[in-house]
C-alpha cells in the first residue's frame, strides 16, 4: 500500500465489503465498540478473520482501548498496553465468546478455522510469558533486545486452549507469522519469516547455519500440535520475506512475498530483482510443500501483491496494486495508463490471465483481497476515494473514501460493483496481509473490520467507533447468480439412513452432494425425486448436503451419530 495513505488506514484494518442498498446486502452485523474517544483512532485493530465451512466466524485483533463485544463482555487492556483477542460468532451472527490473551507484542496474527473443532492461531510474542488458559502457557526463549519467539496454538469451539507450541531461534531472533492454513492431510502449515541462523522446533528438528533473513513453512500435526518438519522453499542473497499463504481443498498451495536481490527456489528457478524497491514473487506448492512453479511480478514503478487465493483447480489469484506497466518475469502483461490500477492476476504453471482490472487516477485506491467461490465468481475488496467505472457500473463515493466490492465472472467479465458510503471515511486494508473476507461452504461472504465514525448501513446502526463482524449475501446482482433454498432432512441426527425432501420436484439432471466439514465431497448421486432416500456409510460427524438443479441450490446439514 502507498505509504502516504497507509498510516491513516491502520485504524481501518480489514474493513469488510458491504453492498449498496440497491441489492441484497448485510445479513447480520455485530459491533465491537471501542471506548476510544479520539477522532482518528479506532482503539482497536482487526488483524484477520476465518470462517469454518458451516459459517462459524472467528476474528483476531488488538484492543488498545476497552472493547465491548456484547452486553457485559469486554476486553480491557492493561494501562498503556494492548490485548490480543480472538472472538467467535455463530453462523447466524450470535456472539459466542471472546478470548483475551493480554499484551504479547504488536505483531501480525493470523487464524485458520477449517473445520468444526476450533480455530488455529499463529503469531509471535515479545513478552516473557503468555498464559492461554486451560493450564496451557508458553515462555519466551530468546533474550536479545526486542526479540520474539513464534507461537502456534489451537483453541476449541468453546474457546478453551487445546495446545500451544513455540518456534524458537537464537538469542536475538525475530519471528513473524505471514499465514496459517490446515490441509486435508491432517497438517497445519505456518508460513514464518525469520532473521535467525537457527530454528529450534524440538529434538530432531533443529535447523542451523541458516542464511538469515528468510522464510519457511513449518508443518505441525493438526490434532496434537507436534512439529513434523520445516520446508524451505528458497534461498536468497539478500533480504526476502513472505506475505501470503493459501491452500485449496486438494492441498495445492501458493506463497507470495518480496525480494530485493536474487532468490533461488527449491525447483531450481532463480529470480533477479530489477527494482530497488523490491519485486514480488509467487510460487505454487504441491501437497507436499515442494515448489512447482514460480513467477516474478513487478513494475517499472510500483507493484505489490496484497492477497492470494487458490481455486479448486490449483490456479492462484493475486490481488495486485500497481502503477505503470505490470510485469511478469520482466515482460509487460498490462499497460496502466492511469496513475494506479488494481488487478487480479490468475496464473498457474501454464500461463496467466487478468480477470479483474480497475484503472484509477489516484493513489488512494487499492484492491486489497480476493476470493473465488465454487462457481468461479471472483470477488475483490478494496477502497476508493473518488468515483470509479467498473464495467457498466459507475461507483460513486459519498465520503472521503468508500469500501469497494467488485464481482467478476470466471471469464473475467464484470458483473457488478458496489460501495458503502454515508459521508464517512470507510477504507479497506490488510496492512498485515490478513484475510478481510472469506466464503463459507454455502457461498456466503463474511468480513470483519472497523468504523471510524458512526456505523449506519442496511438498517444496522452503531454509534461511536470500533470494529464489526458481518455476513454478506453474495447475490449483489441478479446476473449469473444461483438462487438458494432450504432443504428438509429427516431424521436428523441420523445413523446414516435419512431422507432429503425438496420444496418441488427437481429436473432429471439434478445432483445431490454430501461434503464433510473440510469441504471434501464424500457422497454423490442423482436427485430426480422430491423425496430422496439415502443409504450412506458416513462416519460420525456433521456434513453439508447440497442439491443443484441448474437454476437453484438447496442446502442443509445432517449430523451422523
Question: What own/partner pairs with CB < 8 Å and gap ≥ 24 does 35-41 have?
Answer: 35/65, 35/66, 35/67, 35/68, 36/64, 36/65, 36/465, 36/466, 40/8, 40/11, 40/452, 41/11, 41/465
Query: How many structural domains comprise the chain?
Result: 2
- Mark whether 462 and 526 lie in a shared domain: no
pLDDT per residue as tens digits for the range 166-217: 999 988 788 999 999 987 677 899 999 999 889 999 888 999 998 868 999 9
Q: Is residue 477 part of a domain?
A: no
The CATH number of whichever domain residue 488 belongs to comes to: 2.60.40.3080
pTM over 0.85: no
pLDDT per residue as tens digits for the range 276-319: 888 999 999 998 889 999 999 999 888 999 999 999 899 999 99
Residue 479 predicted with pLDDT over 60: no
The CATH number of whichever domain residue 134 belongs to comes to: 2.130.10.10
Q: Is residue 368 part of a domain?
A: yes
- Mark whether 531 and 406 lie in a shared domain: no
Cα dihedral 202/206/211/214 (nearest 10): -40
Q: How confident is the model at residue 478 (pLDDT cuts 50, 70, 90)?
A: very low
- Mark whether 543 and 433 lie in a shared domain: no
pLDDT per residue as tens digits for the range 98-157: 999 999 976 789 999 987 788 999 999 999 999 999 999 999 998 887 799 999 999 999
Beta strands in 11-94 (DSSP E): 26-34, 44-51, 57-63, 67-70, 73-75, 83-89
- Mark whether 437 and 528 lie in a shared domain: no
| pLDDT of res. 233 | 92
- Mark whether 180 and 76 lie in a shared domain: yes
Percentage above 70 pLDDT, the chain? 88
Range of the domain at 510: 483-560
- Mark whether 439 and 494 lie in a shared domain: no
Q: How many CA atoms lie within 13 A of 14 on its CB side?
A: 31
Amino acid at each position: 500500500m502507498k505509504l502516504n495513505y497507509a498510516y491513516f488506514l491502520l485504524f481501518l484494518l480489514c474493513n469488510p465489503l458491504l453492498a449498496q442498498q440497491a441489492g441484497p446486502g448485510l445479513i447480520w452485523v455485530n459491533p465491537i465498540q471501542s471506548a476510544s474517544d479520539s477522532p482518528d483512532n479506532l482503539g482497536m485493530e482487526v488483524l484477520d478473520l476465518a470462517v469454518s465451512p458451516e459459517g462459524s466466524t472467528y476474528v483476531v485483533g488488538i484492543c488498545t482501548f476497552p472493547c465491548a463485544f456484547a452486553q457485559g463482555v469486554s476486553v480491557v487492556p492493561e494501562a498503556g498496553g494492548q490485548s490480543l483477542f480472538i472472538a467467535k460468532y455463530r453462523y447466524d451472527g450470535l456472539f459466542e465468546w471472546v478470548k483475551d490473551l493480554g499484551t504479547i507484542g504488536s505483531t501480525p496474527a493470523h487464524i485458520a478455522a477449517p473445520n468444526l473443532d476450533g480455530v488455529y492461531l499463529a503469531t509471535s510474542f515479545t513478552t516473557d510469558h503468555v498464559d492461554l488458559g486451560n493450564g496451557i502457557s508458553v515462555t519466551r526463549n530468546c533474550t536479545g533486545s526486542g526479540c520474539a519467539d513464534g507461537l502456534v496454538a489451537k483453541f476449541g469451539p468453546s474457546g478453551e486452549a487445546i495446545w500451544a507450541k513455540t518456534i524458537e531461534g537464537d538469542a536475538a531472533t525475530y519471528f513473524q507469522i505471514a499465514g496459517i492454513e490446515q490441509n486435508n492431510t491432517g497438517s497445519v502449515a505456518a508460513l514464518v519469516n525469520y532473521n535467525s541462523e537457527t530454528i529450534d522446533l524440538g529434538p530432531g528438528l533443529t535447523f542451523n547455519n541458516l542464511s538469515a533473513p528468510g522464510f519457511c513453512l513449518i508443518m505441525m500435526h493438526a490434532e496434537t500440535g507436534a512439529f513434523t518438519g520445516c520446508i524451505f522453499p528458497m534461498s536468497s542473497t539478500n533480504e526476502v520475506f513472505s506475505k501470503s499463504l493459501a491452500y485449496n481443498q486438494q492441498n495445492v498451495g501458493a506463497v507470495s512475498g518480496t525480494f530485493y536481490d536474487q532468490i533461488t527456489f527449491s525447483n531450481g528457478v532463480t529470480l533477479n530483482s530489477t527494482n530497488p524497491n523490491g519485486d514480488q514473487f509467487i510460487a505454487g506448492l504441491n501437497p507436499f510443500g515442494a515448489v512447482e512453479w514460480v513467477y516474478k511480478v513487478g513494475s517499472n514503478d510500483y507493484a505489490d501483491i496484497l492477497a492470494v487465493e487458490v481455486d479448486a483447480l490449483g490456479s492462484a489469484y493475486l490481488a495486485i496494486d500497481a502503477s505503470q506497466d505490470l510485469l511478469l518475469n520482466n515482460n509487460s502483461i498490462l499497460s496502466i495508463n492511469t496513475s494506479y490500477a488494481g488487478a487480479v492476476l490468475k496464473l498457474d504453471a501454464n500461463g496467466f490471465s487478468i480477470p479483474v482490472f480497475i484503472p484509477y487516477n489516484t493513489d488512494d485506491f487499492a484492491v486489497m483481497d480476493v476470493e473465488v467461490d465454487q462457481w468461479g465468481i471472483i470477488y475483490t475488496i478494496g477502497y476508493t476515494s473518488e468515483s470509479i467505472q467498473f464495467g457498466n457500473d459507475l461507483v460513486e463515493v459519498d465520503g472521503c473514501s468508500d469500501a469497494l466490492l467488485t464481482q467478476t465472472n470466471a471469464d473475467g467479465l464484470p458483473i457488478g460493483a458496489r460501495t458503502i458510503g454515508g459521508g464517512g471515511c470507510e477504507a479497506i486494508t490488510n496492512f498485515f496481509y490478513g484475510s478481510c473476507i472469506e466464503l463459507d461452504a454455502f457461498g456466503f461472504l463474511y468480513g470483519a473490520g472497523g468504523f471510524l465514525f458512526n456505523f449506519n448501513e442496511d438498517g444496522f446502526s452503531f454509534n461511536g467507533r470500533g470494529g464489526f463482524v458481518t455476513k454478506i449475501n453474495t447475490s449483489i446482482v441478479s446476473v449469473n447468480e444461483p438462487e438458494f433454498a432450504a432443504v428438509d432432512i429427516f431424521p436428523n441426527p441420523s445413523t446414516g439412513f435419512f431422507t432429503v425432501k425438496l420444496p418441488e420436484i427437481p429436473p432429471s439432471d439434478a445432483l445431490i452432494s454430501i461434503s464433510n466439514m473440510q469441504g471434501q465431497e464424500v457422497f454423490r448421486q442423482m436427485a430426480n425425486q422430491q423425496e430422496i432416500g439415502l443409504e450412506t456409510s458416513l462416519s460420525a460427524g456433521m456434513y453439508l448436503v447440497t442439491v443443484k438443479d441448474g437454476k437453484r441450490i438447496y442446502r442443509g446439514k445432517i449430523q451422523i451419530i
